[in-house]
Amino acid sequence: MRKPHRSRTVLAVLAAAVLGVSGCDAVGGDSSAPDGTAAQKARPSPSPTPSWDRTPASIAAVGDSITRGFDACGVLSDCPEVSWATGSSARVDSLAVRLLGRAKAAERSWNYAVSGARMADLAGQMAQAATRRPELVTVMAGANDACRDSTSEMTSVAAFRTEFEDAMSTLRDALPKAQVYVASVPNLKRLWSEGRANPLGKQVWKLGICPSMLGDADALDSAATLRRDTVQQRVEAYNEVLEKVCAKDERCRFDGGAVHDYRFGTEQLSHWDWFHPSVNGQARLAEIAYRTVTARKA
């Protein structure tokens, strides 16, 4: 338990930092169908489905503050060394470290995620990542599309789909054979439920962290409940988009909702804002990603 004067000091630092800173037949009805050798020649050979490489030799990460390790090490600041995707910290054992080994991960992994980024920003990050020609690109984005000042400002599902498709097209234009791992958007309502038990966390939320979900944290009236449910439904719709768009790409794997379904507890949440993943939470995200990337089947 922090003493009151320390809490006031932390909040003052946080406030100063904040202020500074998404049939028909092949032949005619009267024609006879080809048979034998002719039939084989008439039927195009199916293209083989490319096999998934469970041991890619290089990784680039795109996304938002979660992939930057925001608030995992200090107040309102990025900490990429503990990123689930490319971090070097032994306490996390990032996806890059698990796949490449610590030495190679330092040379063959790159983090292009940006804190505060939304799905509309992903195409630009993909373009940057493509310059490194990575064999695997990790994607975790969408939370900021739901975390707006109000539910009316959340990114529409249609826009979210278009922006994600644009991002994938940007990557495919540059790297047709790169593999993509897509993480689901976390369950923001569960993060609210867990974090609201901490008095300091609720004070930090008042500084402007995800107002659509975290605003008036203790309010349980019908309006507050409807607001949170609206955010949660939008997140679920985003995850459906991520899954469907990824499924159209033969070199893309979605996590199956594993990140969304993971039951983050207070140990997995930042002790600065009680919303972003802590170092422990980053390690759990790395485990989920590693299981998905190295699974024999999607």
Give me the CATH number covering residue 96: 3.40.50.1110
Instruction: Give the pLDDT confidence score for residue 43 in this predicted structure.
Output: 55
Q: Which strands sit side by side in the sheet containing 179-182, from one edge to the other?
A: 109-111, 59-63, 136-140, 179-182, 252-254
pTM of the model: 0.84
Instruction: Give the pLDDT confidence score for residue 201 in this predicted structure.
Output: 84
Instruction: Give the pLDDT confidence score for residue 12 in this predicted structure.
Output: 45
* Domain presence at residue 1: no
* Domain presence at residue 213: yes
* Domain presence at residue 111: yes
* Domain presence at residue 284: yes
Please, which residues have CB within 8 angstroms of residue 149's CB and are 6 or more apart in sequence? 211, 212
Instruction: Give the pLDDT confidence score for residue 207 in this predicted structure.
Output: 87
Which amino acid would we find at residue 67? T
Instruction: Give the pLDDT confidence score for residue 216 in this predicted structure.
Output: 94
Q: How far apart are CA 195 and CA 275, in angstroms?
A: 6
* Domain presence at residue 264: yes
Cα 66 to its chain centre, rounded Å, is 8
* Domain presence at residue 40: no
pLDDT along the chain (298 residues), means of 10: 44 42 34 44 56 96 98 94 98 98 97 98 98 98 98 98 98 98 98 91 90 96 98 98 98 98 95 95 98 94
What total of structural domains would you count in the chain?
1
Helices (H), the chain: 4-20, 36-42, 95-100, 102-108, 122-130, 143-146, 157-174, 188-195, 199-205, 211-214, 222-247, 258-261, 279-294
Instruction: Give the pLDDT confidence score for residue 251 in this predicted structure.
Output: 98
- Cβ neighbourhood burial of 88 (10 Å; 0-12, 13-18, 19+): middle
* Domain presence at residue 29: no
Domain of residue 118: give its range: 52-294
Instruction: Give the pLDDT confidence score for residue 76 in this predicted structure.
Output: 87
Show the CA angle centred on residue 42, arms to residues 250 and 176, nearest 5°.
20
- Cβ neighbourhood burial of 175 (10 Å; 0-12, 13-18, 19+): buried
* Domain presence at residue 32: no
Q: Report, in this order, helix, strand and coil percent for the chain, each rounded to 5.
A: 50, 5, 45
